[in-house]
A = this chain, B = another copy of it.
Amino acid sequence: MKMVDVGAKAKTERVAVARGRVRMSSQALAAVRDRTVEKGDVLAAARVAAIMGAKKTPDLVPLCHPISLSGVEVDLSAGSVGVDIKVTVKTVDRTGVEMEALTAVSAAALTVYDMLKSIDRGMAIESIQLEHKSGGRSGVWTRAEIAQAKLKARRKS
């Protein structure tokens, strides 16, 4: 087992954007919107959890490199079927920050669940995935473009 050697890679700016969602009952969603949850403000707690989660990534994910983060931005909102989460992480380092963005989304989702579980135990954490990354040898990757490319390929065949 090994944490892959990245010593020969260049330190460049790298960005990763990840998303996810906690699907919940309309009753739970109303409690988020109306700020009537006993434990406190759900979105505020989840925002802090996301940023602290980004910093804990190498502690949670065994083979992940410990790196400096130059910025983390969190967008959380009550959507139509649950709480929508989006996190952007930046660094200037030898390896990307996909795992930091995904871990931040996971920490926010778990926090949302924790604060609402007395109202709805059946919530589901859904579709935690990378949306976009840039920087590093592999360059830009965007989920939407990949999806379109696949669609085109299918139509042609």
Contact = CB atoms under 8 A, between A and B. Distances in A.
A49 interface: yes
Most buried by B among A58, A103, A109, A125: A125
A117 B40 CA distance: 26
Given A61-B49, A61-B107, A115-B63, A72 B3 contact: yes
Interface in A94-149: 94, 98-99, 102-103, 106-107, 109-111, 113-115, 117, 121-130, 133, 141, 143, 146
Contacts of A7: 13, 70-71, 90-92
Interface in A29-73: 38-41, 44-45, 47-56, 58-73
Most buried by B among A55, A106, A115, A127: A106
Contacts of A60: 49, 52-53, 56, 60, 107, 110-111
B133 A121 contact: yes
A152 to B, nearest CB: 16
A2 B50 CA distance: 10
Interface residues of A, number: 74
Contacts of A58: 55
Interface string A1-21: 111111100000100000010
A74 interface: yes
Given A3-B71, A39-B4, A70-B94, A125 B102 contact: yes
A84 interface: no
Contact of A45 (B62, B99, B110): B62
